[in-house]
Amino acid sequence: MAGGLFVACNGGNEQNGKELPAARLPRSRSDVAIFMDIGATQNQISHLRGTLRHAKSVRRFAFVSPEDGLAEIRRQAPDDSTFRDTDPSELPPAFHVVLRDRTATAEFKADFESRAGVDEVVETPPSQRVDPERARRCTGPAPRVEVYMKIDATADEINAVEAALARDSTITQVRRVSQQEALLQFRCLFADQPDLRDSVSADALPASFRLELAPGVDAAALENRYSTIAGVDEVISNATTLAH
């Protein structure tokens, strides 16, 4: 049975669709972890990745290789000799997953544990999740909507989205979060995990916009308005991803 210590810290490149670089989705910000069988084939990993990309129950996910998992275990427990001589081939690949509806965890677990190459699906314990109070302290109260830009979005694309948001009469407040501010928030969130905190640079995080809406405005209405604008990665409202 797979252990529960995986926290990804590999910057990587932004993936298409719902898949994020592991640095943007450590275990402490996921709802469940899918642990593959040790020695799972590349076809099995690729098939599961494709399934996660198209699953309506999945908000977003990140892949953690055995190499990254082992490196993080060693950083978390440098004095534990258990993993000192462990080879990555002895550990499973894993996926960290954020669900659209956390109350559907049992159904998700039953579904994915039956898939080829999967060993088990483990819910992230509350004790390992980012403390909500810390999140509020580090990033402020959660806005009605967040618009995340692609990591490689140009300055012109970011400015164009900001201008469009400012003109939108259904939006009452727009606050831009630069990549540098996103890095400060990340370091605040993981202040007690120095290896993870120091593994990410500003250019591995996206610029974003935090939005407040006029009374009665349906946040879902923003999907068609902003999902096709150049440079936009995803639009998030509460616990639901509207566009990606």
CATH 3.30.70.3040 fits 132-243, yes or no: yes
Q: Please give the pLDDT value at position 79.
A: 67
* Separation between Cα atoms, residue 58 and residue 190, nearest integer Å: 24
| pLDDT bucket at 37, cuts 50 / 70 / 90 | very high
Q: Please give the pLDDT value at position 9.
A: 36
| pLDDT bucket at 21, cuts 50 / 70 / 90 | confident
- Taking residues 108-116, report their average pLDDT: 95
Query: Do 132-243 and 22-128 have the same topology in CATH?
Result: yes
Closest CA to 122 of 131, 112, 130, 132: 112
CATH 3.40.50.300 fits 22-128, yes or no: no
Kindly report, residue by residue over 128-143, the tens digit of the pLDDT.
Answer: 676 777 778 888 888 8
DSSP string computed for 105-159: HHHHHHHHTTSTTEEEEEEPPGGGSPPHHHHHHHH-SPPSEEEEEPTT--HHHHH
Tokens of 82: 């258990």
* Greater pLDDT, 198 or 232: 232
Is the pLDDT reported for residue 195 higher than 80? no
- Taking residues 146-163, report their average pLDDT: 93
- Is 203 in a helix, a strand, or coil? helix
Q: CA–CA distance from 109 to each of 41, 57, 58, 113, 123 (Å)?
A: 21, 11, 12, 6, 8
Tokens of 61: 């996910």
* Greater pLDDT, 72 or 66: 66
* Greater pLDDT, 188 or 221: 188
200: Cβ contacts below 8 Å, ≥ 6 apart: 9, 11, 23, 183, 186
Domain ranges of the chain: 22-128, 132-243
What is the pLDDT of the chain when averaged over all its residues?
Answer: 82
Instruction: Catalogue the E-assigned strands of the chain.
Output: 32-36, 58-64, 94-99, 118-123, 145-149, 171-177, 208-213, 232-237, 240-243
Global pTM exceeds 0.75: no
